[in-house]
Structure 1
């Protein structure tokens, strides 16, 4: 079915949920930043994961920083006491820009740490996402309570009151875990509320927020390697040449199964098309090795090692079709904006968290993944920062300007410390093929704040349960994390 809204959201769905060789798969609740039109992409949870823990609800204040506002909302969380022994620590998994699942506290690496340390594990859904939406709709006025600062206060309040409600020992220490945006929250909650958490594991955490994040596709290029990026660069040049003529645009429409004929005069739509078409390369780098995801090897086998005599552009078309699974590709910018302006809680864009996350990128973080590096194999400025700025304005209003967004990014970095947050007892694991490592902490900040750089691994890999195929550096990284946890809990 070629439903307009479905086609408009194709890019969102296959970046948010991860198009792969097996189709659309579920997402890790422990959110990872990845990418879509606006920034985030969480690592995919195996499609066969079934929630086993019941929902729990916590009465959370809507506005922590206005004492005259007494409104509250129900915030969802999961709790797993399988390995808990009285007096043991509490491992709190923080979620970010999407609906929670109990995957990490039942099957992920955190569950293994819990077994080792006799810990109670809890997973907390982020305000405004999943089942923890506090307002009747997602209007701009109601989104004012969606911020990292409010989310951090949620965490602090949850820890304080849950310690009492569960009658936990006063000596039971809390450790925060998170991946990607939630990884940044894990680091920041240790920074801003050190009395609440004894330490944090901040995996793939982009704490150095960036207005124009052009390093993203730079890391993608490095991860794919020269042999792979050379034919990609040739394919990009071939596509750019075809865009110049009516016959060429007709060829693009056919080769990439566009939902409507490409006329080439609507620049934002052309930029959206470009972004959609380079998605497979970014997914391959960011989620290489994840269950069901077409990784670096698979992408490069198509682009670099194809021996059927096809052109690089034809091979790019073949790769795109593997990702799209027969869906036509929508690139209509105006239809996309229309979908993101739907403020109802039943809107698909709201339900998967994209309107909310877009607001956070425009209002706090930037994270605009452009092809702004001069030597980009994906086409220099084929997706410029102006494209993302226009989306902020068209979705939320003219109060969002390049100046206001840059100011917001500067404020966020000043408030949290950017690449050098003032923290102790934090471990920052990062994978070399993960483009988001460019915004994380890659060197030790002090004796208790360690950076763990894992060659050959991708976004949030350390959070997954161990596999026999794991590289030795990943196995060693989990051991290092366990040693740091031991130190945090002393």
Structure 2
């Protein structure tokens, strides 16, 4: 495999235009797979063009088709996994054909002419699952028309990360005769309406100084905003942050709460890693003033006292927090030439009414409003625990988009998702791979507090040490690796994935009586 990878690296340099290397293909997909379900009324018999990409360079007869579910984004953004990530690795190890499969409505796979609420009725997890099953049963790969590479004739293995990880987990359970196996990486099979636990990973695993400072400063500011509403102090807090023109207190609390959310962006792969979480923590943890002159020290000290804190070092940390918000939020608003309410409000009815085909923000918002939830609040944090974001960020605030954009006024129908098993989902040849530090771990089978599971070849159950969000998905060319890159926990899990997928493919052939298969499969 190393020689093959080296050849690939020479042919496909890092600056290759992946969309030229892997031209987009399309398949005619039914818009409506469920004519007996009233939520899709009025029904339609029409089809749309759903995009996919494939790489058959590793394929040999008997190899599987590895399908990566693109999830809630443009599928073209997943092509790097076809070139050198998890799809390439599994294809090489099994002599397989790799596929990136675009989720309906995302990218250019549009079933409708606009994203009006009426036309988003076909954007459900059930329809997406049926799409992926239909693909496996009907696809004819261009240039390989002489081969029957449908699920009737070859084993199909699905991979997905995050939301897409949940999709492939459900796919394996609901369509077991179509998809022989699936890997759910950082999958979130438990839909949770109030997902305050999103910030638990940061609280548990983040740098202590950063977390303690964030909790105390958030608590102090909340004490001012919530307990002193009829005084001058809430306005003074906004003023010291340079955000005095934000009208609503909850909008202000949300505007200053973005830094702590950066944990999810950490990645071992330098090409996609975000340093924002470290930047935020480095600022707020420092007890030395990093932004001289950013605000009046005595004003900061008084506001902290009103909020219930008189720690000397916390004054400097508040000043650094103010400097961080100025650099990452206030100055950006000024550069755009917009008012602070225009830049930061969550209550923009005019914006929410936009529903033409360019309004891609509506897609995942509709999905979580309708059936997934995951509203990330500070109000849901237990009363005996200091939150990392304001308690003003509550369900009323976070569900604004649901009411304003889609007229969804009731909680998300999470039972539509959780009927498949939630965090307890289990099925033969369904692997769960999660990150120890992942903010989405609380919605996964590796949720802290659940009984552990034995990891087997049939049902692998792997937690990546110090890993975050689907860290096994990325990959490097051999000439890009160096000591510690990829990290050993990632390299180990990718090797394990190749081994158990090879075992699954061999099992498929043995079940069909193909006893000679397996001798020529690639090695990692």
Normalising TM by the smaller chain, what interval?
A: 0.7 to 0.9
Comparing 307-316 with 84-93, greater Cα deviation is found at: 307-316
Cα distance between partner residues in 1 of 2:437 and 2:330? 25
How many angstroms apart in 2 are the aligned matches of 1:382 and 1:145?
34
SS at match of 1:175: strand
The Cα shift of 1:249 comes to 2.7
Cα separation, 2, equivalents of 1:237 and 1:342: 36
Check conservation: 1:61, 1:70, Cα contact below 8 A: yes
Deviation at 1:220, TM superposition (A): 2.0
1:340 aligns to 2:321 (yes or no): no
Residues 194-213 of structure 1: pairs in structure 2 closer than 5 A: 194-213=176-195
What corresponds to 1:27 in structure 2?
none
Query: Residue 334 of structure 1: SS of its match in structure 2?
Result: coil
1:255 aligns with 2:224: no
| Pairwise CA distance, 1:130 | 1.1
CA contact (8 A) 1:275 1:383 kept: yes
Q: Measure, in 1, the Cα distance between the counterparts of 2:113 and 2:264.
A: 38
Q: Does 1:88 align with 2:63?
A: yes
Tell me by how many angstroms 1:294 deviates: 1.7
Q: 1:171 to 1:396 in 2, by over 3 A?
A: closer
Q: What's the counterpart of residue 482 of structure 1? A: 498
- The 3-state SS of whatever aligns with 1:230 is helix
2: CA distance between counterparts of 1:204 and 1:322?
Answer: 32
Is the partner of 2:59 in helix, strand or coil? coil
Q: Which runs of 5+ in 2 are unaligned?
A: 1-13, 37-42, 291-314, 334-339, 447-451, 507-524
Q: CA deviation at 1:376?
A: 3.3
Instruction: Give per-residue Cα distances to partners, 1:213-239, cap 9 Å, x unaligned.
Output: 111112221121432211112322343
Q: Which moved more, 1:458-467 or 1:277-286?
A: 277-286
In structure 2, do the counterparts of structure 1 residues 221 and 73 end up closer, same or farther at CA, with 3 Å as the change threshold?
A: same
Rate the CA distance shift 1:152–1:401 in 2: closer, same or farther, 3 A: same
**CA offsets per residue over residues 222-272 of structure 1, 9 Å max, x none?**
12143221111232234335645546535535635x4x7023xx3xxx334
Q: Find 1:54's aligned residue among 13, 23, 39.
A: 23
Is 124-133 or 321-330 further displaced after alignment? Answer: 321-330
Unaligned stretches of 5+ residues in structure 1: 1-45
| Range that drifts further, 105-114 or 56-65 | 105-114
Q: How far has the Cα of 1:175 moved from its partner? A: 0.6
Aligned to 1:103: 80
1-side partners of 2:160 and 2:138: how far apart?
21
1:307 aligns with 2:314: no
**Aligned residue for 1:410?**
415
Secondary structure at 1:311 match in 2: helix
Instruction: Compute the TM-score of the two structures, normalised by the length of structure 2.
Output: 0.75
Matched residue count: 426
| 1:263-274 map, 5 Å | 263=247, 266=248, 270-274=249-253
Preserved CA contact (<8 Å) 2:68 2:101 = yes
Q: Structure 2 vs 1, CA of residues 364 and 116 (structure 1 numbering), >3 Å: closer, same or farther?
A: same
- CA deviations on 1:155-204 (whole Å, 9 max, x unpaired) are 01011111587423554211101100011011111111011111111100
Which protein is bigger by CA-based radius of gyration?
A: 2
Judge conservation of contact 2:33–2:127 (CA < 8 Å) in 1: yes
1:168 paired with 2:145, answer no
Task: Name the CA shift for 1:445/1:322 in 2 (closer, same or farther; >3 Å).
Answer: farther
| Worse-matched range after superposition: 439-448 or 115-124 | 439-448
Write the mapping of 1:358-397 to structure 2, written as runs, cut at 5 A.
358-371=365-378, 372-374=380-382, 375-379=385-389, 381-397=391-407
* Counterparts of residues 86-485 of structure 1 (less than 5 Å): 86-101=61-76, 102-162=79-139, 166=145, 167-169=147-149, 171-240=153-222, 243=225, 244=228, 245-246=231-232, 249=235, 252-253=238-239, 255=241, 258=243, 261-263=245-247, 266=248, 270-289=249-268, 291-294=272-275, 296-308=277-289, 311-321=316-326, 323-324=328-329, 326-328=331-333, 330-335=343-348, 337-346=349-358, 350=359, 353-371=360-378, 372-374=380-382, 375-379=385-389, 381-397=391-407, 400-402=409-411, 405=412, 408-414=413-419, 416-442=420-446, 443-444=452-453, 447=456, 448-466=458-476, 468-485=484-501
RMSD, aligned α-carbons: 2.7
Q: What is the correspondence of 1:3-14 to structure 2 with a 5 Å cutoff?
A: none
> Is contact 2:73-2:107 (8 Å) kept?
yes
TM-score (norm 1): 0.80
